[in-house]
Amino acid sequence: MTTRVGVVADTHCPEFLDKLPDRLFEILAGVDLILHAGDINSQGSLEALERLAPVEAVRGDHDRSLGNLPPSRELTVEGKRIVVVHGQRSRWLEEPNTLLWTLSLGYFQPHRGLPRALRRRFPYADAIVYGHTHRARAETIEGVLVFNPGGVHQWSPATASKRLRAGRAQGAPGKSPGWFEWCWLQVARHLRRYQHPSAGILEVDNSGIVARVIEL
């Protein structure tokens, strides 16, 4: 028997997305379970996904309103131990990575050490699902699948410019970008290399786990 698991991360809705993309629901139609690896941003996003299948979610660094969610989960699917975690680390690692990625206009690949760090953190897992980096990645490290489905929301010249326009249009305290984000967006709107929105599917049976990334 094969269990199909939908994998989602970094939806950022309604923080940066007005609504979850229709394409996401098409990809996830018929799955048996959905894993959300954090930066969900609202209970409404979880409820929308729960209309498709049961959802197991963890808290990301943008999920302050979802404090009831755990920072990690471990569940068993077809006898395989799957860990779900967002993946953020110390700001002393995070901020330099983000700065270099932005100043390089997307050419620098950040967080390259994160998959191995997660493998060390969860040594008994058969698979580790994470988010946070917004970069789709599937690799096997010492026999363990470490899988990031990519972000449903992705920064690009179009989304950075949209965020700037939305901030000017709203003009309300707490809704417009702060000065630091505004400065960052001025650079981000000139990105030359960026990821496309995506989600993932895991096919799990007693022989192993197969991961696929699907662009939205």
Which H, E and C letters describe 55-73, residue by residue? EEECCCCCCHHHCCCCCEE
Question: What single letter denotes the amino acid at residue 65?
Answer: S
The predicted structure's pLDDT at residue 125: 98
Residue ranges of domains in the chain: 3-153+198-215, 157-190
> Is the CB of residue 75 less than 8 Å from the CB of residue 202?
no
Q: Cα angle at 173 between 166 and 94, to 5 degrees?
A: 75
The predicted structure's pLDDT at residue 170: 53
Is the CA virtual torsion 65, 67, 71, 73 positive or negative? negative
Pick the CATH number of 3-153+198-215 from 3.20.20.140, 3.60.21.10, 3.40.50.460, 3.40.50.300: 3.60.21.10
* Tokens at 211, concatenated: 């991961």
pLDDT in tens, 125-167: 999 999 999 999 999 999 999 999 999 999 999 999 999 987 6
User: For strand 55-57 and strand 72-77, is the pairing parallel, antiparallel, or unpaired?
Assistant: unpaired
* Tokens at 197, concatenated: 């929105």
pLDDT level of residue 177 (50, 70, 90 thresholds):
confident
pTM of the predicted protein model: 0.94
